[in-house]
Amino acid sequence: MALMQCPECGKTVSCYADTCPHCGYPLKVTGRPLFSMPGIAFFFLAVIVIGACCLLLWLYLHDSISFGLFSFLWIILFAVFLMCSLIVNAK
């Protein structure tokens, strides 16, 4: 769960709360997260996968396909790790 600071009393509150539980300040307008974390994760994953495909194609055209496959697997593993860490952080 993401946390933010109440603009009225300065105490830590959930960014999903409608009002501050300490002072009752309404947080609905400013309390929303700036962006959706899974959306960002999928955007990065798409960028990484497209980048990996371009790298693989480039290496294929330059006759180093075995090295290309090795790099491709590592990039995919990194992308999965990155996405998992983003999803865990979003909770």
Residues that bind Zn ion (CB under 5 A): 6, 8-9, 20, 22-23, 25
Nearest to 71 by CA among 49, 81, 56, 50: 56
Kindly state the smallest distance separating residue 42's Cβ from Zn ion, in Å: 34
Considering the complex, what minimum distance in angstroms separates the CB of residue 28 from Zn ion? 13
d(CA 27, CA 17): 7
Looking at the Cβ atoms of 16 and 78, the one nearer to Zn ion is: 16
CA pair distance 53, 65, nearest whole angstrom: 12
* For Zn ion, the closer CB: 8 or 15: 8
Residue 51 C-beta: closest distance to Zn ion, Å = 44
User: CB-wise, 30 or 85, nearer to Zn ion?
Assistant: 30
CA neighbours closer than 13 Å in the CB half-sphere of residue 67: 8
Q: For residue 26, give the DSSP letter.
A: B
